[in-house]
Amino acid sequence: MNTDYNPFSLAGKTILVTGASSGIGQCTAILCSRMGARLVLAARNQERLQETLNQLNEHPDGHVTLLADLTVQEEVERMVAALPPLNGAVLCAGNSTTLPLQFGSREKFDEMFDVNFFAPVELMRLMYKKKLLQKNSSVVLIASIGGTHSFMPGNGVYGASKAALNSVMRYAAREFATRRVRVNSICPGMVDTPLIHRGTITEEQLAEDAKRYPLGRYGNPDDIANGAIYLLSDASSWLTGHDLVIDGGFSI
């Protein structure tokens, strides 16, 4: 019996992960390295990015770190210019806000759309246009069930940015298929990362909210990272334009 069979292997692939300094992006980078990938890590915070780098499995070609604020056009362009040819990208950098719609001014929408929508869309556009995404490569956008469901009060501004991202994902999947580049998204439910512990929702509210999940808990970063590995790997080579909901059954 051949025990080496592993359609989820990422050996031989170079994969960009944005938001690699924390939470879902950090975990995705670490698990992708365990699956054999060479990583390009991106975020703004050098120290935290270094912590991620320290946790990667070694790769013969070495991993790469790139610092960029993805809401700043020049920094996106500088980062794209420094990228090696890629076989995959997980565009995870993002933010959230809990804000009743009556306080959702144009400024608040702009802030959220800048980081959650315009940043990944511009990065994906440039990577495709400059032919950095190799044939059979896979782009994974991290969206949210906030974009598909009214999952918690006060998430309209956030949810709109993620719904827009999912819409572009489908068009990109159709257009990029001509070069055999796949584009999918993951829509996580609530995942236990620093993002949800910033005080806008109290720890008591979070514990109460977790009870609404049929599988009895919030997600862990590896629940999402493992989905990303599937979408990056050749196991999903006939899948494009799909939003993969990973939410412990919340949206049933």
Ligand X SMILES: NC(=O)c1ccc[n+]([C@@H]2O[C@H](COP(=O)([O-])OP(=O)(O)OC[C@H]3O[C@@H](n4cnc5c(N)ncnc54)[C@H](OP(=O)(O)O)[C@@H]3O)[C@@H](O)[C@H]2O)c1
**Residue numbers of the site for ligand X (CB under 6 A)?**
19, 21-25, 43-45, 48, 69-71, 92-96, 115, 142, 144, 188, 190-191, 193-196
The CB-of-32 to ligand X minimum distance in angstroms stands at 15
- 74 phi and psi, to 5 degrees? -65, -35
The CB-of-225 to ligand X minimum distance in angstroms stands at 10
Nearer to ligand X, 92 or 99 (CB): 92
Nearer to ligand X, 222 or 234 (CB): 222
Strand order across the beta sheet in which 64-67 lies: 64-67, 38-43, 14-18, 86-91, 133-142, 182-188, 243-246
Exposure class string for 199-228: b at 16+ Cβ within 10 A, else e: eebeeeeeeebbeebeeeebbebebbbbbb
Nearer to ligand X, 48 or 242 (CB): 48
- 191 phi and psi, to 5 degrees? -125, 140
Cα(172)–Cα(170) distance, rounded to whole angstroms?
Answer: 5
The CB-of-161 to ligand X minimum distance in angstroms stands at 8
Nearer to ligand X, 153 or 194 (CB): 194
The CB-of-6 to ligand X minimum distance in angstroms stands at 26
Q: Which residue has the tokens 């692939």?
A: 13
Nearer to ligand X, 168 or 196 (CB): 196
Cα(215)–Cα(190) distance, rounded to whole angstroms?
Answer: 12
The CB-of-158 to ligand X minimum distance in angstroms stands at 7
Q: Which residue has the tokens 């999952």?
A: 151
